[in-house]
Amino acid sequence: MEDGDVGIKLSASNSMELEQGRCVLDMECERTMTAKMSVASTESIMKEMWSHIFSKHPNQEDDFAAMVTTNADPRSRFVFSFWMAVSGPIIAVLVLTTFLSCCVSWATTRKATELSISLCNQSVEKQQLEIEYLLDTSTTYIYEGVLAEIEAQINKFVVELADRAVDGLWNTMCSYHAFGLDANGSSSDSRWRLAFPMLSEISGGNQNRREIINRVDMLSVIFKNGAFTGVGKGDDGNFVWYEAAPSSDASGMLQVWHIKYGADGVPNRVSVENMTHHPITELPSYVGQGKLALENPTGPPVQMWSGVYFFADAKAKVSWTSPLMYCGDYSCFDGVLVASFTVRTLNTWCYDAWQKLTAKVREHPFDYSNHLGDKNSIIFVVNQISPSNPFQEGWLLGSTDMSGTVQLGPAVNSELHMVKATSRVLLERFTTWNAAELQDQVTPFTFRINTSGFAVVEDCDKLETLDAGCYHVATRSVSIDFRTKWLLVVALPADAWTE
Q: 24 phi and psi, to 5 degrees? A: -60, -40
Which of 338, 431, 426, 433 shows the shortest CA–CA distance to 391? 433
pLDDT at 394: 94
User: Quick one: what percent of the chain has pLDDT higher than 70?
Assistant: 70
Residues 6+ apart with CB under 8 A from 160: none
Pick the most confident of 20-24, 95-99, 197-201: 197-201
**Whether the predicted pLDDT of 90 surpasses 90:** no
Q: How confident is the model at residue 121 (pLDDT cuts 50, 70, 90)?
A: confident
Mean per-residue pLDDT, 88-100: 79
Q: How do residues 228-256 score in pLDDT, each as one tens digit?
A: 999 998 877 789 999 998 876 666 678 89
Residue 410, pLDDT > 90, answer: yes
Question: Tens of pLDDT along 311-355?
Answer: 888 888 999 999 999 998 999 999 999 999 888 888 888 888 888
| C-alpha span between 51 and 31 (Å, rounded) | 30
pLDDT in tens, 205-233: 555 554 444 567 899 999 998 899 999 98
**Average pLDDT score over the chain:** 77
Residue 239's H or E segment, with its range, is strand 239-244
For 393, residues 6+ apart whose C-beta sits below 8 A from its C-beta are 383, 384, 385, 386, 433, 434
Q: How many helices (H) and strands (E) does the chain have?
A: 12, 15
d(CA 225, CA 185): 8
Whole-number pLDDT of residue 137: 60
**pLDDT band per the 50, 70, 90 thresholds, residue 145:** confident
CA distance 380 to 489: 5
419 within 8 A of 386, measured Cβ to Cβ: no
Q: What are phi and psi of 194, to 5 degrees?
A: -70, -20
Lowest model confidence (mean pLDDT) among 191-195, 282-286, 353-357, 369-373: 369-373
What is the average pLDDT across 447-470? 69
Give Dmax over CA atoms of the chain in angstroms.
186
Q: Calculate mean pLDDT across residues 155-178.
A: 88
User: SS3 of 424, please?
Assistant: helix
Cα–Cα distance measured from residue 158 to residue 252, given in angstroms and rounded to the nearest whole number:
29
Identify the pLDDT of residue 132: 58
Cβ–Cβ contacts within 10 Å for residue 227, how many?
Answer: 27
Q: Work out the average pLDDT over 199-206.
A: 74
- Residue 384 has a pLDDT of 94
Predicted local confidence at residue 133, as pLDDT: 55
Q: CA 29 → CA 19, 76, 77, 129, 328, distances in Å? A: 9, 21, 21, 93, 148
Phi, psi of 25 (to 5 degrees): -95, -5
Q: Residue 4 above 90 pLDDT?
A: no
Report whether pLDDT(414) > 70: yes
Residue 470 has pLDDT above 50, yes or no: yes
Report d(CA 85, CA 87) in Å as an integer: 6
